[in-house]
Chain A
Amino acid sequence: MARVVVNVPAEAKKGEVIEIRTLAGHPMETGFRRTQLGELIPRDIIRTLVCTYNGVEIFRADLHPAIAANPLITFNTVATESGTLEFRWTGDNGYSATQSATIKVV
């Protein structure tokens, strides 16, 4: 079960810069670790996080194995209008997770 958390203020003033915090449950297997027998454990990470605001992309992050397990990504955006923020994480082995949050802009 792809477990994700997003934290978006429920309400903001028009033009206000808001902070968005996201957390995704994922081991972020680097691809550099080996088993006890010396076999390389293949890479399995989240590769991208994209956030859209009423359909317009406002943020994109490219993640690499150097991002810690259960990746936290925090960023900012301007509260322009009321609506929905959509978040999508994609990664190796077909990993995909989505979450949405609504915001009221006054």
Chain B
Amino acid sequence: MKAAVLAVFLVPIAVAAEIPPAERRSGYDFMSRETRAMQDDEVTGPAVLSLLDGEALWGKLGCASCHGDAKASMRGVATRYPKVMDGKLVNLEQQVRHKAPQLAYESRDLLSLTAYVARQSKGMPIDVQPVQPQLDAGKAFFFRRQGQLDLACSQCHDDNWGKKLAGNSIPQAHPTGYPIYRLEWQNMGSLARRFRNCLTGIRAQQYAPGAPELVELELYLMWRARGMKLESPAVRP
């Protein structure tokens, strides 16, 4: 398997080219018709229960006391993260935790509440600011060869998107739908968890949830996906 993957990259490739804006496509487009239907099912799709939990938490944790009705106050919010709050670059999960620190990373409650908040921006274009030096740091991470397989994210997701890896199509890696219900996890999960899966996949150094490196990478990917529509909460294979 490793030899097969390496063989792909032994063929000389043109200098790693970013995907032209007009050619950007969401991971949604690389899924089968049936998986897409699961994402589109707003009544009994796999992410629906998490949204209902999130709505309940919004009430129970007292978010409404400052923010009122989430449908109004949270509209557009998820399209702007990661952003700088109180001098620190944070992603949406971290901002939610800032107000509810008892919610652990990757906990069911944090995922549900984040999914509920993100859902209020569904269909809106991603609109993050190019915060420096974090954006450059995230971009450098994306283009850096790492780990035992000496692979950079860009080699799969910029240069070889659309081709197959283990029978599945390689998507372009736009975080258009987080938090997602990943069929592989049989559960909701964050972008940080997905990154950790990628890092395991290329046998590279892991980062803990909330690590600044992962937030910088998220900023770069959201910047790379600017203008694309948010689909949260999405379903992915």
Binding site for B on A (CB under 8 A): 3, 5, 7, 21-23, 25, 27, 68-70, 72, 74
The answer, among A5, A25, A27, A69, for a CB contact under 8 Å with B43, is A5
CB–CB A21/B43 < 8 A: yes
Flag if B186 contacts A27 (CB, 8 Å).
yes
Interface centre among A3, A22, A74 (most CB of B within 10 A): A3
Chain A residue with Cβ nearest B185: A69
The answer to whether B44 and A22 have CB atoms under 8 Å apart is yes
**Please, how many residues of chain B have a CB less than 8 angstroms from a CB on the other chain?**
9
27 A-B residue pairs with Cβ-Cβ distance under 8 Å, sorted by A, are: A3-B49, A3-B52, A3-B53, A5-B43, A5-B44, A5-B48, A5-B49, A5-B52, A7-B43, A7-B44, A21-B43, A21-B44, A22-B44, A23-B43, A23-B44, A23-B48, A25-B49, A27-B186, A27-B187, A69-B46, A69-B186, A69-B187, A70-B46, A70-B49, A72-B44, A72-B46, A74-B44
Bitwise interface map of B from 170 to 213 toward A, beta carbon under 8 Å scored 1, else 0: 00000000000000001100000000000000000000000000
With A5-B43, A23-B43, A69-B46 already in contact, 10 other A-B pairs whose C-beta atoms are closer than 8 Å = A3-B49, A3-B52, A5-B52, A7-B44, A22-B44, A23-B49, A68-B186, A69-B186, A70-B49, A72-B44
Which residues of the other chain, B, contact A25 by a CB distance below 8 angstroms?
49
Contacts of A27 in B (CB 8 A): 186-187
Name A68's closest neighbour in chain B (CB-CB). Answer: B186
Q: Which of B34-61 contact A (CB under 8 A)?
A: 43-44, 46, 48-49, 52-53
| Chain B residues within 8 Å of A7, by CB | 43-44
